[in-house]
Amino acid sequence: MSFVYQCEDTLEGIFTAIYRIYEDKHHAFETRISLVEENLLFAEYIRVETDKERAIKVMRTCQQKFGEKDYFGLCMALSTGDLEKAQAVYKTIAYGLETKPAPGHLFDHLTDDYVLKTFKLSSTACREAHHWVGFLRFRELENGILYAVIAPKNHIMNNLMEHFSDRFPSENFAIFDEKRKIFGIHPYRGQWFLATGEKLEERFREVPYSDAEEKYAELFRHFCKSITIKERANPRLQMNMLPLYFRDYMTEWDKA
Amino acid sequence: MVLQNKIVCEKDGAAPFRQGTMSLMEKLEILSDAAKYDVSCSSSGVERGGNGKDMGNCNKAGICHSFAGDGRCISLLKILMSNECTYDCKYCINRKSNDVPRATFTPEEICTLTMEFYRRNYIEGLFLSSGIIDNPNRTMELIYRTLYLLRHKYHFNGYVHIKAIPGADGELIRMTGFLADRMSVNLELPTAEGLQNLAPNKHRKTILTPMRQIQNGITQNKNELAIYRNAPSFVAGGQSTQMIIGATPENDYQILNVAESLYRKFDLKRVYYSAFVKVNEDKMLPSLPGGPPLLREHRLYQADWLLRFYGFKAAELLDENRPFFNVMLDPKEDWAVRHLECFPVEVNRASYEMLLRVPGVGVKSAQRIMKARRTAKLTFPDLKKMGVVLKRALYFLTCNGRMMYNTKLEEDYIVRNLTTDKERIKFGSDGMSYKQMSLFDDHMFTGVVGIEDRYRSAVGMF
């Protein structure tokens, strides 16, 4: 008999499920966390309702036992779209609590399959976040707000907002995640926050770009062209470094 | 800041886009085109958080914002202040004797461009160099003034890379250093003779003097910062330099030795190598029918990494009798096959330094191996998962006393196996090949063998 905990696909949901497993005192080898509906004959299914307090307890434990950096790694792994991520992170935490590595050394144990999987997931997400930090493009709207649209594979809005609010503290800017329909909004010298809502989408869509916007976009397009050394042209390398799926969102690749 | 920016835009509304007869667009085109042969693109080395009100911060790892058609990253707004130049360096597109369109940015134009590009996340900062306007001092002063304006009027807190102009006054360089994140002085050519032949106005001494000055400034500043935490930082990102490869007849061994001594004696962060692109016709310059020597540049960069991160010495990689890199093998493979007495290496016991010397094992994977083997015995599948390139490493590694396959530890055998794929790609494509001649030119057949073909060959129908 195995126990399958089913929870919702959020950071809090998964951490609540982990709390529940420890609460129920099930052993790690007979327990699983699943994010999808499934029906196995020899399994007992337990639905987990997300509970903020319990989730925070698990988060705090992870922070204390594994250190800030590794806790961040676990969170990044959970930001991916992988369906097995909850199981991998749960097993990684269980492994860590059992073997008690020093803080910052959770991901040393790469011979463990689940630790390796979590590590891979978290590096994928971090790498993508780093890519978007560079490839994201703001466009200035008529009202002076900077507005960017992105479509990342993983949920990396938090990373982006952290980075850009530090970089542009005195700007009003908004980043829109097209895939998840989430806005990250930063007001002038204020604290950033996330927001959703169709009205918000519409409002941003209605505002035209400022007059200067097209001029600077054009300047940058010309810059990108003139900085290329023709004798060294290498479109393959360019494609390796800047994959095509970013280009739909980048000013210099506009068809205009 | 939004408001401030707006004012700047409106006030200079017409000016930045049309000044005199030349528009900002034309200037940007001319002056970025003139700056493109400067190789440095990195925006790394400085970690500086935002200050809560001004625009900009710096990321230690550096951030690439776009990639140009030649595959090089666009991280900084790489421009010349002016391409007017009183020097006549043979290899340079901007030399005095060339008839090319000339332009000069005003400091305000550079600041506006930087700020507006930065706001839109096009760039990570500014890279500013210049042709020699009148004399080195005047040029350096103009650069300093621009940077001062950018930092103190426009309150730009992002990354700035400045070229120090050789021959400029020490005080000017020192003042600029306090405003810049990285400074570089171009070595231009690896040897003094080369410099004398191709850049008659530049001298080895005037290049090395500012380099030494910046180095001393950085050391001094580090000591100051240790005592006074809020002391202004001087060239926090370190200094770099660049050399042109293939314009003069130096060999790889000489170049690598120069690079090594620069790292050792001048504490440089990076030495860049720039494959010579022939932009001028001149009897002093070599003709390059095959285009810029890109493979040579690539090998030099590989060796450069070996010097900086893998604990190699220039003398280990090359020597007087073999002054050029192997075309077929990368420098690390080349070293490994010539030192088979050091191999195979036992993954579970070898030192970190030795692991780094195994082809196919990089810094990251070597670190992972060191950490992982504390808790478990590693196997070849584990290594693969950790990022070791087994295709190259398998000839040099054992796991628990066993090699991955039954391979021979012979130079010829390993070289043949390491080069097979590459040969086909690089040399097979144009008909030229280092492969031994054979009756069966099977590598020419690229089509997929289907079930039908097998059937046909089995029953003898062709």
- Asked if A130's CB is within 8 angstroms of B61's CB, the reply is yes
- Asked if B124's CB is within 8 angstroms of A251's CB, the reply is no
Can you read off the two tokens belonging to residue B183? 């400074």
- Per-residue DSSP letter, B425: I
Contact residues on chain B for A135, CB-CB shorter than 8 A: 65-66
- Asked if A169's CB is within 8 angstroms of B50's CB, the reply is yes
Contact residues on chain B for A170, CB-CB shorter than 8 A: 1-2, 53-55
| Residue B452: predicted pLDDT | 72
- Asked if A234's CB is within 8 angstroms of B69's CB, the reply is yes
- Asked if B382's CB is within 8 angstroms of A111's CB, the reply is yes
pLDDT tens-digit map of B27-67: 999 999 999 999 888 899 999 999 999 999 999 999 999 99
Question: What percentage of chain A exceeds 90 in pLDDT?
Answer: 91
Contact residues on chain A for B51, CB-CB shorter than 8 A: 169
pTM: 0.87
Can you read off the two tokens belonging to residue B345? 């290496």
pLDDT tens-digit map of B227-270: 998 889 999 999 999 999 999 999 999 999 999 999 999 999 99
* B122 and A CB contact within 8 Å: yes
| Residue A41: predicted pLDDT | 83
pLDDT tens-digit map of B296-345: 999 999 999 999 999 999 999 999 999 999 988 999 999 999 999 999 99
Q: Is residue B289 predicted with pLDDT exceeding 60? A: yes
pLDDT tens-digit map of A7-19: 999 999 999 999 9
| Residue B361: predicted pLDDT | 96
Minimal Cα distance from B55: which residue of A?
A168
**What is the C-alpha separation between A223 and A220, in angstroms, rounded?**
5
Can you read off the two tokens belonging to residue B376? 């478990």
- Asked if B64's CB is within 8 angstroms of A134's CB, the reply is yes
| Residue B362: predicted pLDDT | 95
Smallest CA–CA separation between A218 and chain B, in Å?
A: 8
Instruction: Point out the residue among A144, A166, A228 whose CB comes nearest to the CB of B50.
Output: A166
pLDDT tens-digit map of B193-234: 999 999 999 999 999 999 999 999 999 999 999 999 888 999
- Tell me how far apart the terminal alpha carbons of chain B are, to the nearest angstrom: 77
pLDDT higher for B8 or A96? A96
Contact residues on chain A for B294, CB-CB shorter than 8 A: 232
- Asked if A111's CB is within 8 angstroms of B73's CB, the reply is no
**What is the C-alpha separation between B22 and B35, in angstroms, rounded?**
18
**What is the C-alpha separation between B64 and A131, in angstroms, rounded?**
8
Secondary structure class of B201 (helix, strand, coil):
coil
Q: Is residue A90 predicted with pLDDT exceeding 60? A: yes
Q: Give B 349-408 residues with CB within 8 A of chain A.
A: 368, 371-372, 374-376, 378, 382, 385-386
* B277 and A CB contact within 8 Å: yes
* B340 and A CB contact within 8 Å: no
Candidates A229, A238, A239: best to mutate against B (most CBs of B within 10 A) is A229
pLDDT tens-digit map of A199-230: 999 999 899 999 999 999 999 999 999 999 99
- Asked if A105's CB is within 8 angstroms of B56's CB, the reply is no
| Residue B290: predicted pLDDT | 85
The answer to whether residues B131 and B83 touch, using CB atoms and an 8 Å cutoff, is yes
- Asked if B70's CB is within 8 angstroms of A234's CB, the reply is yes
Cα dihedral: A103, A107, A111, A116 (round 10): 150
pLDDT tens-digit map of A30-49: 899 999 888 888 889 999 99
Contact residues on chain A for B9, CB-CB shorter than 8 A: 212
The answer to whether residues B124 and B76 touch, using CB atoms and an 8 Å cutoff, is yes
Cα dihedral: A110, A112, A118, A121 (round 10): 60
Q: Tell me, what amino acid is at A210? A: S
Nearest to A118 by CA among A108, A128, A132: A108
| Residue B288: predicted pLDDT | 85
pLDDT tens-digit map of B335-384: 999 999 999 999 999 999 999 999 999 999 999 999 999 989 999 999 99
Instruction: Point out the residue among A110, A133, A167 whose CB comes nearest to the CB of B372.
Output: A110
Quickly list H helices, B12-159.
24-35, 107-119, 136-152
| Residue B22: predicted pLDDT | 87
User: What pLDDT band is residue B181 in, cutting at 50, 70 and 90?
Assistant: very high
| Residue A255: predicted pLDDT | 67
**What is the C-alpha separation between B243 and B188, in angstroms, rounded?**
5
Secondary structure class of A146 (helix, strand, coil):
strand
| Residue B432: predicted pLDDT | 44
Q: Give B 14-33 residues with CB within 8 A of chain A.
A: 17, 24-25, 28-29, 32-33
Secondary structure class of B199 (helix, strand, coil):
coil
Residue written as token pair 């001149």: B282
Minimal Cα distance from A226: which residue of B?
B33
Instruction: Point out the residue among B70, B113, B120 whose CB comes nearest to the CB of A233.
Output: B70
The answer to whether residues A155 and A180 touch, using CB atoms and an 8 Å cutoff, is yes
Contact residues on chain A for B376, CB-CB shorter than 8 A: 109, 111
The pLDDT of A74-97, averaged and rounded, is: 94
* B124 and A CB contact within 8 Å: yes
pLDDT higher for B393 or A255? B393
User: What pLDDT band is residue B426 in, cutting at 50, 70 and 90?
Assistant: very low
- Asked if A189's CB is within 8 angstroms of B53's CB, the reply is yes
- Asked if A105's CB is within 8 angstroms of B55's CB, the reply is no
pLDDT tens-digit map of B435-453: 455 555 555 555 666 777 7
The pLDDT of A100-111, averaged and rounded, is: 92
Instruction: Point out the residue among B2, B24, B372 whose CB comes nearest to the CB of A108.
Output: B372
Share the mean pLDDT of chain A: 93
- Asked if B74's CB is within 8 angstroms of A226's CB, the reply is no
| Residue B216: predicted pLDDT | 95
The pLDDT of B148-173, averaged and rounded, is: 95
| Residue B437: predicted pLDDT | 52
The pLDDT of B79-104, averaged and rounded, is: 93
Residues 6+ apart with CB under 8 A from B334: B317, B325, B326
* B12 and A CB contact within 8 Å: no
Kindly write down the DSSP assignment for every residue of A207-229, as one continuous string.
SPBPHHHHHHHHHHHHHHHHTS-
Candidates B6, B17, B70: best to mutate against A (most CBs of A within 10 A) is B70
The pLDDT of A53-69, averaged and rounded, is: 95
Smallest CA–CA separation between B433 and chain A, in Å?
A: 24
Minimal Cα distance from A171: which residue of B?
B2
- Asked if A134's CB is within 8 angstroms of B71's CB, the reply is no
**What is the C-alpha separation between B165 and A124, in angstroms, rounded?**
42
Q: Is residue A110 predicted with pLDDT exceeding 60? A: yes
**What is the C-alpha separation between B123 and B180, in angstroms, rounded?**
16
| Residue B449: predicted pLDDT | 66
Q: How many CB atoms lie within 10 A of CB A191?
A: 8
| Residue B446: predicted pLDDT | 56
Smallest CA–CA separation between A190 and chain B, in Å?
A: 10
- Per-residue DSSP letter, B188: B
